[in-house]
Amino acid sequence: MAIRLLFVVNTTDFFLSHRLPVALAAQREGYVVHLVSDWLAYEVR
C-alpha cells in the first residue's frame, strides 16, 4: 500500500509556485499525492 500525501492550499497558484517540486519529488519516491485547493485551471502532467 502506497503512502498518501495530501496538500491543502488556498490557491492553485501557491501550490504551483511553492509546493509542486515537493509533490513531484514525493511521487518519484512512491507517494500517492493529492491536492485540495480552489478551482484548478491548470493541466499538470
Q: What is the mean pLDDT of each run of 10 residues along the chain (45 residues)?
A: 93 90 97 87 62
Q: Specify the pLDDT at position 13.
A: 85
Cβ-contact 42, 12 below 8 angstroms: yes
- Give the model's pLDDT for residue 41: 61
Query: What is the pLDDT, as a whole number, of residue 43?
Result: 64
Instruction: Note the pLDDT of residue 12.
Output: 84
How much is the pLDDT for 45? 62
Spatial CB neighbours of 38, under 8 Å, sequence gap ≥ 6: 10, 11, 12
pLDDT, residue 40, reads: 61
Locate all alpha helices (DSSP H) within 1-45, ordered by sequence: 12-14, 20-28
